[in-house]
A and B are shown apart, each in its own frame.
Chain A
Amino acid sequence: MSLIAQVQAPTVDFRGLSPLIALVVGANVVLLAGLLRGAGVQRVLVPLLAAVTLIVAGALSVAIWETGDVEPLVQSALAMDTLTLSMSLLFYLAGLATIALSLRSSAVGEAGAGEYYTLLLASISGMVVLAAAENLITLFVGLELLSIPLYVLCGSAVRERASLESGLKYLVIGSVGSATVLYGLALIYGATGQTDLGRIAAAIGEQVEVGDPLLLTGIALTASGLAFKASVAPFHQWTPDVYQGAPTPITAFMAVATKTAAFAVFLRLFDAALSTNQVEWGPALAALALATILIGNVGAIGQRSLKRLLAWSGVAQAGYLLAGVVVGTRLGLQATAFYLATYLVMNMAAFAVVIASERVSERGDDISSVEGLGARSPVLAWPLTIAMLGLAGFPATAGFMGKFYLIDAAVDGQYAWLGVTIVVGSMISLVYYLRVVAAMWMAPDAPPLAGPVRRMSPASGGSPEADPRAQPETVAVALVCAALTIAIGIFPSPLFDLAVQVGTSISGI
């Protein structure tokens, strides 16, 4: 009796961990449900369970929402603060959209629905851990938990060479990235003697000098490794290849969620642990941002594959996002979080349309597959148009507000030239975004435009999937995301409020 009383079990805050617990439990349930036989199980029950898991996790995240600098959990390994929770909500939304987009994907059938959705949920839980990491070890665990399922998911269309190649490529490059991060983290630990982000922050300037070479090398290596995940130049080369080869729903998920997770950890690491060093790493990251913006935008210009185009555009967008990290201010943190949310809706709208048109066109994801889409099916053309205009930063879209906020943060943080770089990047980006819009609405060989296009019934020889009504969930994702893009562009205040709450999560900046 007395012996038991003396054992001090660590207190586990189940309330704070509840979203993670929901995710992990859900992932297991989905895996087990996938073992059941029957088409109904595979096509309806498993995705439904996965979606329910994400919704429950989202609801729990909202329930434990608390502004301010929240006390970390599990021996200060995880912080369920507004930064984590807001980013988690973005992961869940991206996950829900991915589930909807995967419903008719051949990759699900080939990999097995149970495995496919379990890997998706596992990857999301890795993202949550990564975003919440208050400790170098948790950070690395989260990074690996995020990455490994994604390697498999990229290769999940096992009958397609491109998918397998993409999975292998991502595995090799991702491992190099992870190794680089690990090495960097080890050096930071070596320099400061701490693994807790809070204690590292306290140690810098006290036990270890701000310009300590070991520390700076560690920071540089960690930043490089994370840059792999966020596709920041010059660590972006894998992005177009992997994005093009992977099953398109997974591409959408990677483009949105992985990038969000990478930036969540960028923000936490640089703003919480290393903010005293901002003068040291600020200019270096700014140079990376400049290079990323230019390389990404220039790289996108010549692309004909829409997935590659969106990959390059994602590289450029990573450059914009990095500007919010560079300044190391509360405003920068808020602007980055805000932009990540807008980035999610704009990209999801674009990818949903790419998926929808890819399925019915024999030209795959080539830009010619959307030619004349404006006349053929406006219900798909509008979301893609709005997404492209939004990504280019046109007003009355979420992209404009996001850029406005980022430029605001950049100028406020003494990086006015970076703000100008963002707009220069946007100018270059017009060339390729508008090409997509022009292909949809102004294609020279557009069919005669008198009256609505007659839709043939399957019996009379028309392809059933040529009708957008044949894949309502894809169209719904596109429409909802496009509507959100416009709504945020016109009434941005609620999202700004949230961003301000996210800004309270890290004290000391």
Chain B
Amino acid sequence: MSVNLSILVFLPLLAGLLCAVVPGSAARWIGLAASVLVLALSVMLVAAFDPDAGLQFVTDVAWIPELGVRYSLGVDGLNLFLVLMTALLWVPATFVSAHAGYTRPRLFYFQLGLAETAVLGAFLAQDLALFVVFFDLMLVPFYFLIGAWGGADRVQATTRFVIYTLVGSLLMLAGAVALGVLSTPDGGQISFDLAELARRDLPAGSQAWIFWMFALAFFVKAPLFPLHGWMPDAYRSSPVPVLVLLSAVLSKVGAYGFLRIVLPLLPDASARFAELVILIAVVSILYGSVLAFSQDEVRLVVGYSSIAQLGFITLGIFSLDPKGAQGAVMQMVNHGLVVVPLFLLAAVLVHRAGGSESLARMGGIAFRAPVLAALLLVVSLATLAMPGSPNFVGELLILFGVFETHIVYGLVASAGVVLAAVYMIRFFQRAMHNRVGPSVESRDIGRVDFAAVAPLVLVIVALGVYPQFLLGRTEAATVAKVQEAGRLAEPPAAATAKEPVR
């Protein structure tokens, strides 16, 4: 059984184009059908995946021969579950939008399809230039989705979002071109193929500035402190289905970029700057946790908690330790899985509280809504990494990795785990228990939202019970990506002083 990755990537776009021409009422069902079809394809992909075979289902043809750019897609352990996660999360997002009944549905579902194509393309690209293309392309649909269907101040929010992200992306474009050109050996043919680039040597001096160009792009996308300036406004103004995708899927592309591109291609710079990035990650964890604890708007509680979670993921990656990277990959999937139900349930809470986003106006919602409360409880416990949840496994692996290489940062980061418990429990209590809010109407979760959230909660529970399903398949590829940088960073004090650069 083989899956053609080009079909997987471009199916949403084709469906989106179809949505753009059919009558508006049909567009949403076409969009939903396409997202389900993509999910089915990715499930087939996981079923047919061979954990020992390296890169598979490869599509590789010349795209721009003059520039050495190839149209090259492939799956390995690193992106397998991210693709599945993307396909999985797109279904509830489309499902919820279909029931929300947005205006101009044809344009809406076209943009949604384009967005899925871009994200899947970025995850699957095996050519640096192709990755950049898809990475930047993601921005266009989200710009429209927030700007045309968002809430108050949407134009400002979306403009700020795009400028922040595109600043990063364009620097990455320059960095990517420089990486391709400067690593071309004399008389050799320029290539952007990731595997080929990993074989070529780039002087450590060039690696340093190229590293930061990539890092900036990925930090903004995540977002990590201090480049999260676009986050509060964009999260506040996004329509809910777009918000969940923004937070669950888009943020992962940045973290994935570190593992796919930065670590294997720029090992010297990665080893050299690992400690600095770890510092940024730890600060993000603490900053995100503290702000999540002090926010009143439910969206921002979840939003800032995401900064902390992304901090953990980055921490795992830059521990440059196989276990840490494994944990990071697992945590990427976990965060996506928990943040979507969190936001969807938060939207339900807002509805129950009479349309107010404020935690202060909620409370006592659990009173007549046992199912809603139970679902939120499971998701909250998963978010704070309760033992038995997949997040527990992920964060544990990350901390193992950090303790191996940077024990001090590991200790500080552990505090982040505790803080997560603090802000999640506060969130749950304020919303569900406490005194009943002024305009709260306690009613159980509706059928639509239940249908969107319940399957995800089941997946969370299943992954918590059997994390090896993911870890076993991702291990080989993930470990390979951090090996080189990890080796260079290995003797922490003595060797780096003797031979600072290769």
Identify the A interface with B (CB < 8 A). Answer: 334, 374-375, 389, 393-396, 400-401, 403-405, 407-408, 411-412, 416, 419-420, 422-424, 426-427, 430-431, 434-435, 437-438, 441-442, 444, 449-450, 492-493, 496-497, 499-500
Contact = CB atoms under 8 A, between A and B. Distances in A.
Interface string B144-184: 10011000001100110011001100110110011011100
Contacts of B46: none
30 contacts: A393-B170, A395-B133, A396-B140, A408-B67, A408-B181, A408-B190, A411-B182, A412-B181, A416-B174, A419-B177, A422-B174, A423-B173, A423-B174, A424-B170, A426-B166, A426-B170, A430-B166, A431-B159, A431-B163, A434-B159, A434-B163, A438-B158, A438-B159, A444-B155, A449-B103, A493-B63, A493-B64, A493-B66, A499-B66, A500-B66
B132 A395 contact: yes
A153 B181 CA distance: 45
B357 interface: no
Interface in B60-75: 63-67
B66 A419 contact: no
A419 B178 contact: yes
B166 A396 contact: no
A408 B177 contact: yes
A411 B66 contact: no
Given A426-B166, A427-B170, A497-B66, 8 more contacts: A374-B107, A393-B170, A393-B173, A395-B132, A404-B67, A407-B177, A442-B158, A493-B63
B77 to A, nearest CB: 27
Interface string B374-409: 000000000000000000000000000000000000
Interface pairs A-B: 10 shortest CB-CB:
A423-B170, A395-B133, A496-B66, A442-B147, A395-B136, A411-B181, A407-B177, A423-B174, A449-B103, A395-B137
B137 A394 contact: yes
Contacts of A419: 174, 177-178
A407 B173 contact: yes
B293 interface: no
Contacts of B154: 442
Contacts of B435: none
Nearest to A439: B155
Contact of B174 (A375, A396, A420): A420
B362 to A, nearest CB: 30
Contacts of A422: 174
User: Which of A396, A412, A423, A431 has the most chain B CB within a 10 Å cutoff?
Assistant: A423
A424 B139 CA distance: 17
Nearest to A375: B104
B134 A395 contact: yes
B137 A449 contact: no
A404 B136 contact: no
B129 interface: yes
Contact of B65 (A393, A424, A493): A493
A411 B178 contact: yes
Contacts of A431: 159, 163
B143 interface: yes
A411 B174 CA distance: 9
Interface in B176-198: 177-178, 180-182, 190
Given A434-B159, A450-B103, A497-B66, A396 B177 contact: no
A293 B147 CA distance: 28
Interface in B454-477: none
A393 B173 CA distance: 10
B148 A394 contact: no
Nearest to A449: B103
A283 B64 CA distance: 30
Contacts of A438: 147, 155, 158-159
Contacts of A492: 64
A442 B155 contact: yes
A496 B177 contact: no
B155 A396 contact: no
A395 B176 CA distance: 14
Contacts of B155: 438, 442, 444
User: Which of B163, B166, B174, B182 has the most chain A CB within a 10 Å cutoff?
Assistant: B174
Nearest to A492: B64
A192 B144 CA distance: 58
A140 B67 CA distance: 36
A407 B176 CA distance: 10
A404 B174 CA distance: 8
A400 B64 CA distance: 13
Given A434-B162, A499-B66, A403 B103 contact: no
Contacts of A394: 136-137, 139-140
Contacts of B167: 427
B166 A427 contact: yes
Contact of B67 (A374, A426, A496): A496
B413 to A, nearest CB: 33
Contacts of B190: 408
Contact of A407 (B144, B163, B174, B182): B174
Contacts of A441: 144, 147-148
Nearest to B138: A395
A448 to B, nearest CB: 8
A289 B178 CA distance: 19
Contacts of A416: 174, 178
A374 B159 CA distance: 17
A405 B64 CA distance: 11
Contacts of B182: 411
A412 to B, nearest CB: 5
Contact of A404 (B107, B129, B137): B129
A80 B107 CA distance: 47
A428 B103 CA distance: 32
Nearest to B179: A411
A493 B69 CA distance: 10
Interface in B254-273: none
B305 to A, nearest CB: 29
Contacts of B171: 420, 423
Given A408-B67, A497-B66, A449 B133 contact: no
Contacts of A450: 103
A442 B140 contact: no
A496 B107 CA distance: 32
A449 B104 contact: yes
